[in-house]
Amino acid sequence: MTSIHPFWVAGVSTTSNEIAQVLHPADESLVARHYVPSAKHIEDAITSASSEAKSVQSTSAATRAEALMHVSRELNERLDEVAHLIVDENGKPLMWARAEALRAVATFRWAAEEVRRFSGEMQRLDTEVTTSGRMAIIRRFPYGPILGISPFNFPINLVAHKLAPAIAVGAPIIIKPAPSTPMCALLLGELLAQTDLPPGAWSILPIGNELAPLLVQDQRLPVISFTGSDKVGHAIEKQVPTKKLTLELGGNAAAVVLADWNSQQDLDWAASRIATFGNYQAGQSCVSVQRVLIHESLCAHLSEQIVKNVLSLPNGDPRDEKVVVGPLINVDAAMRVESWIEQAVAQGAKLLCGGTRDGAFIEPAVLVDVPANSHLLCNEVFGPVIVLASFATTDEAFELVNDSAFGLQAGIFTHDIQTAFRAHRELEVGGVIIGDVPSFRSDQMPYGGVKGSGSGKEGVRFAMEDFTHERVMVLSGLDL
């Protein structure tokens, strides 16, 4: 491997004196090398974003929409290449990598479509005698340049969820990808460089976390969109309390199977979905199924089915077309998950299957009788682990869902429309998925949580609103 990938400062391909390696999580083999930005490159990117903000904002909707559609088309044309790049740097099984690549295609397409609709609104003000002859035009304008910090678990689509809405609203953005998975972000830089976006519209800086404060604390970047751990997200809140923050900080998602979900077809569906989406991408998803609450009338039978489904999941080489569960991002992450399982067992939990570690791989685990104070219940495990428990009443089930420091999404298996609306009303989460696991996400819908799961929303239009503020212009003396 001879090529060394450049980074992007104000849309310009750039090199440096430092080179970093990207390793494959499964076997730590070398998959890519890239140049690493220096402190000066970071300063240049910030200076350009700040000085060119008005120029970027003044670009036409047509220019922005075409740039976004160009990226969407190119990703679609290079879908197989993108999927394999995700596998290489992230270790995500190929089936999930292809799904993520397709989602990124859609994310940029949605942004292109939203640009054309992001026009504001008009409001009649002659509704009172004292305001006759007046009309308000309400439009949204960017707060200013944006810092987008993306995690390793969705190395292209979560970068897309920061880049695309920023470009759509005409706000310069600097992307700091996760140090372990920078290559998909750098590929997006390559595609954006082929568009007519002005200088300063975007930079891609694959820096180590030790340099992140240079970006986070700089007041010329008044908006931060961060996806990652709650520990880091809350630290950012404390460091820059006056900035506009969008924080997606994860969760410990619950799936609830209510008593009316009781046909064999229902139970087969629930068992399959829970097993798959508790372990897809090795559980490294903010809405991976972690807690499963089953009505006591169904618990014994459904628990047995879930374990059977988990044991049937192909676990191994992520480049294998049939593999569902691959490695965690690195050995340290796998060791942490292993230690949490061991802690729970030492506290009295029963391990029904899995839990064995081999390097960065964890055999998918299912546990019962997990103590309430265990890491596996109190925190986000971010690994292939499912905890089962039973409940007697819907009241009890919903109380258990809410008994968490997090509140991202919940899945409720029920056919009862009244219960569905009750769940929507009572559950302290950002999204309630009826008839399926909490892991469902469509990229145009609002996505984000409450409590420890963060603030603000992803989902293209909703991120565009988070990146902008309303400004009213009142026209007077009109003959309405």
The catalytic residue among 100, 286, 338, 380 is 286
∠ CA 345-351-352 to the nearest 5 degrees?
Answer: 170
The catalytic residue among 52, 74, 248, 458 is 248
Taking alpha carbons only, the member of 262, 245, 162, 215 closest to residue 9 is: 215
Distances (CA, A) of 469 to 139, 142, 290, 445, 449: 8, 6, 36, 20, 21
Q: Is 66 a catalytic residue?
A: no
Three state DSSP letters for 23-83: ECCCCCCEEEEEECCCHHHHHHHHHHHHHCHHHHHCCCHHHHHHHHHHHHHHHHHCHHHHH
Q: Which residues contact 16 (CB under 8 A, 6 or more apart)?
A: 7, 35, 36, 37, 38, 41
Taking alpha carbons only, the member of 136, 402, 383, 160 closest to residue 280 is: 383
Q: Which residues contact 292 (CB under 8 A, 6 or more apart)?
A: 254, 255, 257, 274, 278, 306, 386, 387, 388, 389
**Centroid of chain to Cα 25:** 20
Three state DSSP letters for 208-268: CHHHHHHHHCCCCCCEEEEECCHHHHHHHHHHCCCCEEEEECCCCCEEEECCCCCCHHHHH
Structure tokens at 337: 């998950």
Q: Looking up tokens 């997006």, which residue turns up?
A: 188
Q: Which residues contact 118 (CB under 8 A, 6 or more apart)?
A: 61, 140, 168, 169, 461, 464
- Mind telling me the catalytic residues? 248, 286
